[in-house]
Amino acid sequence: MAIKATSPDGRNWEIEAIREPFSSGGGFSLGNVVVTVLLLALVIGLAFVSWYFAVGAAIILLLWLGERISNHLRPRLRAQTKDPPAEEVTWKATRFARRELEQRIARVIEAGPTLDVEPRGLRLLSHRNI
């Protein structure tokens, strides 16, 4: 469900949360696959040699996996207006309080003419005319 806000210039804005699909960032290339396979082989080989190395590699893997899941679960928040001049602003949440962040964006829209700000808990990703 989208939240609506009206800016001081009379334009109507719609604020919505967007879930990101899982991705590897820049896509898969042959070089990335080869390096990943070689590093995995090295880590597995060293894990057989040293128990400490296996535990350390597992901890690093769990930390990395936790970061990727956390990044995926935090939504992007998009505010857009179709009224002329049509604009779209996108933020990435740095916290999990989605409803509260949507309300902050609505207050920013209602407060002033500029949207190139980063309310607490949000990081500005893009601001473009559509």
Using a pLDDT cut of 90, give the percent of the chain over it.
Answer: 31
Q: For residue range 35-53, what is the model confidence (pLDDT) as tens digits?
A: 878 888 888 888 889 889 8
Q: Which two tokens stand for residue 111?
A: 């407060």
**pLDDT score recorded for residue 27:** 58
DSSP class per residue in 53-83: HHHHHHHHHHHHHHHHHHHHHSPEEEEEE-S
24 inside domain: no
Q: Are residues 67 and 83 in the same domain?
A: no
What b/e sequence results for 118-128 when a residue is b if at least 16 CB atoms lie within 10 Å of its CB, and e otherwise?
A: eeebbeeeeee
pLDDT by residue (tens digit) across 7-37?
999 999 999 998 776 665 555 677 767 887 8
15 and 79 together in one domain: yes
> Does one domain contain both 64 and 79?
no
Q: Is 14 domain-assigned?
A: yes
Number of domains in the chain: 2
The pTM is what?
Answer: 0.70
Domain extent at residue 64? 30-72
Q: Answer yes or no: do 12 and 46 share one domain.
A: no
- Residue 114 and residue 104: Cα distance in Å, rounded? 14
Count CA within 13 A, CB hemisphere, residue 122.
28
